Homo-oligomer: A and B are copies of this chain.
Amino acid sequence: MDNLNLDSVSKVLTQVRNKVPLVDCITNSVTINDCANILLSYGASPAMCEAYDEVFDFVKISSALYINLGTLTKEQEAAVILASTSAKIHNIPVILDPVACAAIPRKAQVINRIMQVGKVDVIKGNVGEIKFLAGQSSNVRGVDSLDNGEGALDSAVALAKKYNCVVAATGKEDFITDGKNSVVIQNGVEMLTKITGSGCMLGALCGAAIGAYEDKFIATVSAIFSMNIAGEEAYKAAKAPGTFRVKLIDSIYELTEEKLKKGGKITWK
């Protein structure tokens, strides 16, 4: 593993811009446009190839696969299973956003099937979702977590060990772990919860990061940290959600290693 410090975290950004990873996203229809736009702003190349007849071959040529279970149609359900299998066969990194898994039983079933036949390298969910997947009781309402961060890191570590992957539990504080090393990020702004798709866009950025940078733990930390800093930058320019959302895309585009190094409230554990 690379050194766990702000330097290695920050340089992932430059790697993304140099490598322009092709990120295939199978994601919900609500924020699919936001995911594509933020990937472009980050420096990645988005593809939203999700048709059952296309995904197996397309994943093979992708740098990473992002699976988001938000509005899963029947066709998408078949496609994510097949895509994750292709990723396993072709050794393509996969990030899973288990949207609403604690509220909707079908989501948990699909996740189990993905784990059975495919593979996942990073799971990124809100605290409620991560607790649920770790077998802990969680407090959710629809797609939202009502849990505070208490117990989140323990759940993330347990889940990371269970599936031998990186796990990120996001919220007011973000907890990221590979089961051994852990990080808590205290950056970000409340306004990120007033727009739809903050979590989805974050998942897409994680996909770009693990598609461009070998160490998936550092890559995930970097993507989450980048979103938080961009959120802080955007909030300086915009105090209402319509404008904030526009500025968030701008801020990801204008992000630099220097901005990342200056603003970090990161605790290494």
Residues of A within 8 A of B (CB): 22, 24, 28-34, 36-37, 40-41, 45-54, 57-58, 61-62, 70-75, 100, 103-106, 141-144, 194-197, 240-243, 245-250, 253-254
**Partner pick for A48 among B24, B29, B249, B250, CB 8 A cutoff:** B29
**Partner pick for A106 among B22, B51, B194, B253, CB 8 A cutoff:** B51
Flag if B22 contacts A141 (CB, 8 Å): yes
Known: A51-B71, A247-B242. A30 touches B32 (CB 8 A): yes
Q: How far is the CA of A246 from the CA of B240 in the complex (A)?
A: 10
- The interface residues of chain B lying within 8 Å CB-to-CB of A246 are 242-243, 245-246
Nearest CB in chain B to that of A29: its residue: B29
Distance between A46 CB and nearest chain B CB, rounded to angstroms: 7
Flag if A40 contacts B71 (CB, 8 Å): no
Flag if B33 contacts A30 (CB, 8 Å): yes
Nearest CB in chain B to that of A110: its residue: B53
Distance between A56 CB and nearest chain B CB, rounded to angstroms: 11
Given A29-B29, A48-B70, A245-B246, 13 further pairs, Cβ under 8 A: A31-B36, A33-B34, A33-B196, A40-B195, A48-B71, A53-B106, A58-B103, A61-B141, A194-B253, A240-B253, A242-B245, A245-B249, A246-B246
Known: A54-B106, A58-B104, A70-B48. A36 touches B196 (CB 8 A): yes
Distance between A68 CB and nearest chain B CB, rounded to angstroms: 12
- The interface residues of chain B lying within 8 Å CB-to-CB of A195 are 37, 40
Nearest CB in chain B to that of A34: its residue: B33
Flag if A41 contacts B253 (CB, 8 Å): no
Tell me which of A29, A40, A142, A247 has the highest count of chain B C-beta atoms within 10 A of its own C-beta. A142
- The interface residues of chain B lying within 8 Å CB-to-CB of A141 are 22, 45, 61
Q: How far is the CA of A45 from the CA of B100 in the complex (A)?
A: 13
Distance between A111 CB and nearest chain B CB, rounded to angstroms: 14
- The interface residues of chain B lying within 8 Å CB-to-CB of A100 are 47, 49
Nearest CB in chain B to that of A33: its residue: B30
Nearest CB in chain B to that of A50: its residue: B71
Flag if A37 contacts B241 (CB, 8 Å): yes
Q: How far is the CA of A26 from the CA of B70 in the complex (A)?
A: 13
Distance between A118 CB and nearest chain B CB, rounded to angstroms: 20
- The interface residues of chain B lying within 8 Å CB-to-CB of A32 are 29-30
Tell me which of A34, A73, A195 has the highest count of chain B C-beta atoms within 10 A of its own C-beta. A73
Flag if B245 contacts A241 (CB, 8 Å): no
Flag if A142 contacts B22 (CB, 8 Å): yes
